[in-house]
Structure 1
Amino acid sequence: MKPPITIIPGAAQGQAVTPLLAPAAVAAVRRFHQSLPDYQPTPLVSLPGLARKLGVANIFVKDESQRFGLNAFKGLGASYAMATILAAYLQLSGDPLDYAMLTAPAVRQQIQTLTFITATDGNHGKGVAWAAALFGCRAIVLMPRGTKPCRAEAIRAINGTRVEITDLNYDDAVRQAAQLADENGYLLIQDTGLAGYEAIPNAITQGYTTMAAEALEQLYDRGIAKPSHVFLQAGVGSMAGGVLGYLAHYYDQAPPLTTIVEPDTVACIYKSVAQGNGQPLAVGGHPETIMAGLNCGEPNPLTWPILRDYASFYARCPDWVAELGMQTLAHPQTSDPAIVAGESGAVSLGLLVALSQDQNLTSLKAQLQLDYNSTILLFNTEGNTDPEGYQAIVG
């Protein structure tokens, strides 16, 4: 018997959302991304055949597997945060961040000895390594126990980046990266907040709003002013919080019905909400899931209030849900285009399929208000980052 999907509703408190994620506040973030080499908006893929099959109006997938050739969205946060760090190091103030300015020969001479350090389950570290190479710096990447060697090799292949697979879980690897930064003068570039460490993870979260802004423009071009439903995967919750915070501002504190999706073994956002006291809850130990990019046990304290106050639902999904999503996207049964999605990227689509096709989940589907009027926005946050695992699931 397959492990069950569980979903709980949110409180929808609608507290004031941080001004850092307002469209006006992040307009400069997108302009910076547009200055990067090879920038282009990622596709918003329509799946009308699957929508008809599942009994909804529209399904749109923002395909971040095509972002900067990195197979994931994480380069958005890493590049913008790194640019803010470099601007502070160079004591640049007032000027808009721009790739050409930060890579001028005189600037490269000043920053070439800088070393950035981070901890990652894979995609964030790859984004940091890529951004460091882009600016002519170096990076060190720590990875948690159980990391697939292929994910470490993909990071090492970028500018010979130094990668260490530790014996720690993700959250302890984050703390070790912070300690090594203090001891060695490295620059920590982490996508979750720590005590006294907020500006950089906030910049990373702001970086993720570019894909939300692109998606809303692409929907508008198709005559859709607002999706009815959004599904967002969460590890520490930086991406989910960044996108949801942007949507809350954009739609005047009335975002679409948003479901936060996590692996059932390490659902720290879900468990934080379920305990009912409004505080984030850590999940310890060494949880296992094929959704490596979501295998994080402690919510980002900086985006937790957004997820607590603005999400409509929280879902815990076993690994079979991610597999279902990958298979559905890879092998469309209609004329829909195929989409290559990794485990962390496909789980939200898998959840939608399960809710729509499993008669035992009819009540959950009704709870989420999914019906023939629904227009659903999904984010494929990663492509095929584990070729052997991907082939085993979809082949």
Structure 2
Amino acid sequence: MRDAPRPVEVFINHFRRPDVPAGDVLAAARLARRFHVTLPAYAPTPLRMLPELARRLGVGSVLVKDESPRFGLGAFKGLGSVWAVARVLARRLGIPLRELSLENLLTAAARNLPGKLTFVTATDGNHGRGLAWAARLLGHTAQIFMPEGAAGSRVESIRAQGAQCVVTDLPYDDAVRHAAAHARGSGAILVQDTAWEGYEEIPAWIMEGYGTLALEVLEQMEAPENGGAPLWPTHVFLQAGVGSFAAAMIGCFRQALRERGVPIPRFVSMEPRAADCVCRSLAAGAPRRVPGRLATLMAGLSCGEVSSLAWPVLRDGLAAACVCPDDTARRGMRLLALPAGSDPAVISGESGAVGAGLLEWLRE
């Protein structure tokens, strides 16, 4: 049932410390990209300029990173999954990261691995599909657990990548715990896109993989297609489930723009009203869990606990957190798919489109 129209709630982050360094995250992102470019389907995804929308909103420009062409998966999550799986395999095979490519990884694996490995995760959809694709690409198998209410189309898209997919009767965060227990009991390898105490290495690799997207955006803003001056942003809107993607983008942007002497933009997170763990955590100054079933149209953001790796970056880097009703995502999907004037159409899912809906709400 459609939720009644309710306003977006905006929380100003009083814990923000924009000058706190986050380490050399760009070096790790560049290593990941060196590997990504060796994949047969790799190409930078477009950074769409929407001048008509910018005019309507009364701002200088609006740029949308269109991830629909990414690896044929329709989402950025495969960047993190494939890099994490590649790093697991590189460690087992003794391949230095600077020498890591699809070709030498497959060659070394054919010589040295006695059989297929199984990679396990819990997912609302895109991360699981990305892991299933990565496992198949690299010659292994994947087992995916999904939370209750998972859409049939998402289940089939994962199975189409050759993975086993099981829909549980658990909410997302409990499905993550179930996947972790299954991996421990079966000897499989957990590749989860959220971190907790004692499980942070592979989630960190996933965040490194997302850095390829940040590097693409930085290059595209520095040399826009129209040949004009760089289009450095004043505000960056980032969807947040567990916060891994948002934290990866904040880390890369802060370091890269600081090195260029460019003012750091204000980063704003967006999450569903039913799953606002980032906002609750910022309000408390410490991670807070959202209890319950977390029912929302934005299934990819239906997460009740912030990643332990993402949390300090979000606390220090976010200027504000926005809690959005499902109608914000619906409006964003329509706005991007049916643009005004000469703006290009962008086909986005609910979680990716919430930013466009938020911009329209802010204009009002």
Within 5 Å, give how 1:183-198 maps onto structure 2. 183-198=185-200
Q: How far does residue 112 in structure 1 lie from its aligned partner after superposition?
A: 4.0
Aligned equivalents of 2:256 and 2:223: distance in 1? 16
Q: Which residue of 1 aligns with 2:138?
A: 135
Structure 1 position 216, deviation (Å) = 1.1
Residues in 1 aligned to 2:135 and 2:112: alpha-carbon distance in whole angstroms: 14
1:341 match: secondary structure: coil
CA contact (8 A) 1:244 1:255 kept: no
Query: Which of 289, 294, 298 is equivalent to 2:305?
Result: 298
| Aligned match for 2:149, one of 138, 146, 149 | 146
The answer to whether the aligner puts 1:232 opposite 2:238 as a matched pair is yes
- 1:113 matched to 2:119? The reply is no
* Aligned equivalents of 2:62, 2:97: Cα separation in 1: 41
| Cα offset, 1:46, TM superposition | 0.5
Change (3 A) 1:214 1:132: same
**Does the CA-based 8 Å contact 2:81-2:134 persist in structure 1?**
yes
- Structure 1 residue 123 corresponds to structure 2 residue 126: yes
1:243 to 2:249 alignment:
yes
Q: RMSD of the alignment, in Å?
A: 1.5
Distance 1:250 1:219 in 2: 12
Paired position in structure 1 for 2:175: 173
The structural deviation recorded for 1:15 is: 5.9
1:16 is matched with: 20
Rate the CA distance shift 1:354–1:87 in 2: closer, same or farther, 3 A. Answer: same
Specify the alignment match of 1:84 in structure 2: 87
* Kept in 2: contact 1:62–1:215 (CA 8 A): yes
Structure 2, unaligned runs of 5 or more: none
Shift of 1:16: 3.3
1:216-272 Cα deviation digits (max 9, x unpaired): 111111222521110000000000000011111112295311110000111100010
- Note if 1:319 corresponds to 2:326: yes
Is the contact made by 2:298 and 2:351 (CA closer than 8 Å) also made in structure 1?
Answer: yes
Note if contact 1:28-1:96 (Cα within 8 Å) is conserved in structure 2.
Answer: no
Q: Could you tell me the TM-score, scaled by structure 2's length?
A: 0.94
**Partners of 1:41 and 1:280 in 2: CA distance:** 34
Q: Which moved more, 1:90-99 or 1:199-208?
A: 90-99
Q: Which moved more, 1:282-291 or 1:9-18?
A: 9-18
User: What amino acid is the match of 1:162?
Assistant: Q
* Contact persistence 1:230–1:259 (CA under 8 A): yes
Q: Name the CA distance, whole Å, in 2 between partners of 1:26 and 1:333.
A: 35
Q: In 2, Cα distance between the equivalents of 1:123 and 1:24?
A: 26
* Number of aligned residue pairs: 353
Q: Give the Cα separation in 1 of the matches to 2:216 and 2:310.
A: 21
Residue 367 of structure 1 is matched in structure 2 by none
SS of 2:87's equivalent in the other structure is helix
Report if aligned partners of 1:81, 1:200 keep a CA contact under 8 Å in 2: yes
Segments of 5+ residues of structure 1 without an aligned counterpart are 359-395
Q: Percent identity?
A: 46
Cα deviation code 1:46-68 (max 9, x no counterpart): 10011111111101111011100
Q: How far apart in 2 are the matches of 1:157 and 1:283?
A: 32
Q: Distance in 2 between matches of 1:123 and 1:40?
A: 19
Residue in structure 1 matched with residue 360 of structure 2 by the alignment = 353
Alignment-derived partner of residue 39 in structure 2: 36
SS in 2 for 1:64: coil
Looking at structure 1, the residues matched to 56 and 95 of structure 2 have their Cα atoms a distance apart, in angstroms, of 54
Q: For residue 71 of structure 2, what is the aligned residue in structure 1?
A: 68
Moved more, 192-201 or 126-135: 192-201
**Comparing 51-60 and 221-230, the one that deviates more:** 221-230
**2-side partners of 1:354 and 1:301: how far apart?**
31
Letter in 2 for 1:310: G
Q: What TM-score do you get using the length of structure 1 for normalisation?
A: 0.86
